[in-house]
Amino acid sequence: MMKHTLRTPGKALLATALFGIFLAACNDDDTPKPPAKRSKEYALTVSTGTGGGKITAKELTDSTFDLIIRIDKSTRDTTYNFALYKGKKEDGTLEIFQTITSIKSQTTGAAVEAKWANVKSVTVDGQTKKFNYDSLLKYKAFARVSFVKKNVTPNADSVVAVGNIGGSAQ
């Protein structure tokens, strides 16, 4: 009888150890992972039709996005205007959708990059509307980078690079 009572604590200890291992193995594996951030690239082309730069749309965690427009080469002391227009570049219309920024190049041959950051909404025709990454992918627009030739009368807008984005690129 004495032999039997000595075995009981060993079984209880084994059961406790197995229960502890089981609990340790059940960690937070069931927590949902955040959705993967998406990104999309579009090509910018120059008048020769090759190269020029790129447009990158990057989704942020809250469905907002950053839009980065980059030209591969610039000329020193030239101010480049970055903007989005409605429609397709082939349409020939220049109805502005969003002015991004103007950047003055500091060196010749360097890339210049403009960023439209943390976009949550846009104002179109005087109305502010929610605008997220999926909205951008559906919207028909094109990006255009230009500079103003000031030594020409009248001042002429010169296109550096252009590229369809969103619904216009499909």
Residue 148 maps to which CATH number? 2.60.40.200
Instruction: Assess if residue 98 is contained within a domain.
Output: yes
Instruction: Assess if residue 8 is contained within a domain.
Output: no
Task: Say which range, 3-7, 126-130, 141-145, has the weakest mean pLDDT.
Answer: 3-7
From residue 128, give the alpha-carbon distance in Å to each of 80, 96, 99, 123, 124. Answer: 27, 15, 15, 4, 6
DSSP-assigned beta bridge partners for residue 53: 44, 71
What's the total number of domains in the chain? 1
Instruction: Assess if residue 165 is contained within a domain.
Output: yes
The residue segments making up the domain with residue 81 are 39-169
Instruction: Assess if residue 146 is contained within a domain.
Output: yes
Instruction: Assess if residue 127 is contained within a domain.
Output: yes
Instruction: Assess if residue 25 is contained within a domain.
Output: no
Higher pLDDT, 57 or 34: 57
Per residue in 105-114, pLDDT (tens digit) is 999 889 999 9
Task: Say which range, 21-30, 81-90, 135-144, has the weakest mean pLDDT.
Answer: 21-30
The average pLDDT across 90-119 equals 92
Task: Say which range, 4-8, 17-21, 108-112, 125-129, has the weakest mean pLDDT.
Answer: 4-8
Instruction: Assess if residue 75 is contained within a domain.
Output: yes
Instruction: Assess if residue 92 is contained within a domain.
Output: yes
